[in-house]
Chains A and B, each alone.
Chain A
Amino acid sequence: MKDSTRIRTVLSVLMLLSLTLVALELRNSGFGFTNSIRINTANIVSPFQKSARSFTDSIQNFGSTWREINTARELVKDLESENLELKEKLGNTDEVRRRAAELDALLKIAGLGTYEIVPARVIAIGAGQDYSWTVSLDVGTIDGITEDMTVISGQGLVGRTISVTESTTLVALLADPSSKVGARIGGKSELGFVSGNGLPGELEFEIFDPLAEINQGDRIVTWGSNGGKPFVSGVPIGEVISVKSSPGLLTKSAKVKPYVKLSTLDLVSVIVESPRIDPRDSLLPPMPFVPTPTNSSSPAATPGQN
């Protein structure tokens, strides 16, 4: 009996503590005590996460090496060891090539738009079931990152930075319900907002003008905010997959599939300086089909020529 009273006391104390945390955070959201708890925890946890990340990588490498050992077993002993060594090197080269290709893609997009970027690796990914569409990066204030900067990958827009410590950065992805990006249909000047609703492969695009023409396959780019914060202009976001007809409403909406696969991010970059000239549609990927003669003057069909 006495024991169960003790247990109930423990539970009540814990509930009170949790409620205190909730109250503190609601009271001074983003500042003060709870924020310093977050920053300190991030500083303690992120080195462990970084090493866990490289540990995971080495396990994956080990797995592939292990398979290679098994196939080489029949070979002569010295040849086997030599073979293993070579194959290991080969495996590493593949990984290096893949990373180089990603970096190339990043450089290309940065070069075209003349953005100044800081490359970064994703170290931790938030779980979908926690309703946090956030990832953390291995760069921080020492690399010149601040809050509300645009994050891109080789394919297009990823999200924006929401909190930065010395060595880590938290990024809210496009799919996050709090994410709202000013956007524009490529080749036109119809403006709207792309917002996340918790699905990594489907965004909501709301156009201000209810009479605007929007079709399946239309490509969406960022509109850009004043001073490039939080979003610089001209970054590809995604492609319209379906248009919702909503007669009587003040806005028109469509579903957009993002160019970036948000669930498998690895190398990304943070735009630390926006371009002096608005890149308009020059960053959109080439059209997948040959334009019909009536539609031949699409400005987005040949990126990379300017």
Chain B
Amino acid sequence: MNVYKYVALSITIFVAVIFQPTFFARLSLPGATPDLVIVVVSCWAITKGPAVGAIAGFIAGFLIDVAPPGNQLMGIASILLALIGYGIGIIGSGPSKSLLRPLVISSVAATTFFLLRTIWAVFAGNDLSLVNFSTIFLTQGIYAGGLAIFVYPTIALLDRRLGPVSRSDELRMQ
């Protein structure tokens, strides 16, 4: 990871945080809003391993809690997403020729994130109706997988273009 890649990482997450509520939420698709942010985090974790995955998750979580219209307790999404990014880096990182792995990992990550958020919301004592839970859970996974088909190649390309792979990166990927 060189400086340019950290800049690229921050910019991709920022763009995802901007476009999720202004573009994807306006599509008013059935079920969940397509979760671009978690797909971006997943794809960085797949490409660059657990440390970068955790950092990406932390930044993304911070931004979705703080940037409008986010109104959640600050720090919770950071914890969840950093752990998810770390987990993906441990289990599923490394260069991949096929798109199947990022697709599956992104949708599992998105549904896991939704599940953890639901548990947190219920635990925090919100009077929620969970009628739509299964619909949102399913569509969340499908949308995330669909987005990963476009996001993963973009991030892999950014990674390749922004300088050579460093020695420590190679070690991490093994």
**Which residues of A line the B interface, CB within 8 A?**
3, 6-7, 10-11, 14-15, 17-22, 24-26, 34, 37-38, 41-42, 45-46, 48-49, 52-53, 56, 123-132, 134-136, 162-163, 168, 170-172, 177-178, 195, 197-199, 202, 263-264
Contacts and interface: CB of A to CB of B under 8 A. Distances in A.
Given A3-B168, A21-B62, A56-B26, A131 B67 contact: no
B19 interface: yes
B23 interface: yes
Contacts of B69: 124-126, 132, 134-136, 170-171
Interface of B: 14, 17-26, 28, 32-33, 35, 49-51, 54-55, 57-58, 61-64, 66-79, 82-83, 86, 89, 114, 117-118, 121, 126-129, 131-132, 136, 140, 168, 171-172
25 contacts: A11-B83, A21-B62, A21-B78, A22-B79, A25-B74, A41-B66, A45-B18, A45-B63, A45-B68, A46-B68, A49-B21, A49-B68, A56-B23, A125-B22, A125-B33, A128-B33, A128-B132, A130-B70, A130-B72, A134-B68, A135-B69, A197-B128, A198-B126, A198-B128, A199-B129
Contacts of B24: 127
Contacts of B114: 129
Contacts of B62: 18, 21
Contact of B140 (A129, A172, A198, A202): A129
Contact of A26 (B51, B73, B140, B171): B73
Given A45-B17, A49-B21, A128-B136, 12 more contacts: A14-B78, A15-B82, A18-B75, A24-B74, A25-B75, A41-B63, A49-B68, A56-B22, A56-B26, A129-B32, A177-B126, A197-B129
B80 to A, nearest CB: 9
Contacts of A202: 129
A134 B64 CA distance: 13
Contacts, number: 170
B119 to A, nearest CB: 11
Contact of B127 (A17, A53, A195): A195
B71 A177 contact: no
Contact of A132 (B50, B51, B72): B72
Nearest to A48: B18
Contacts of A56: 22-23, 26
A126 B73 CA distance: 15
Contacts of A46: 68
Nearest to B171: A3
A172 B71 contact: yes
B74 A34 contact: yes
Closest 4 CB pairs of A and B: A21-B75, A124-B21, A127-B33, A22-B75
A131 B33 CA distance: 12
A166 to B, nearest CB: 13
B71 A3 contact: no
A136 B22 CA distance: 10
B136 to A, nearest CB: 5
Nearest to A123: B22
B75 A20 contact: yes
Contacts of A134: 68-71
Contacts of B127: 177, 195, 197
A124 B63 CA distance: 14
Contacts of B121: 131
Contact of B68 (A19, A124, A130, A263): A124
A242 B17 CA distance: 38
A127 B32 contact: yes
B18 A52 contact: yes
A163 B76 CA distance: 20
A126 B21 contact: yes
A299 B132 CA distance: 37
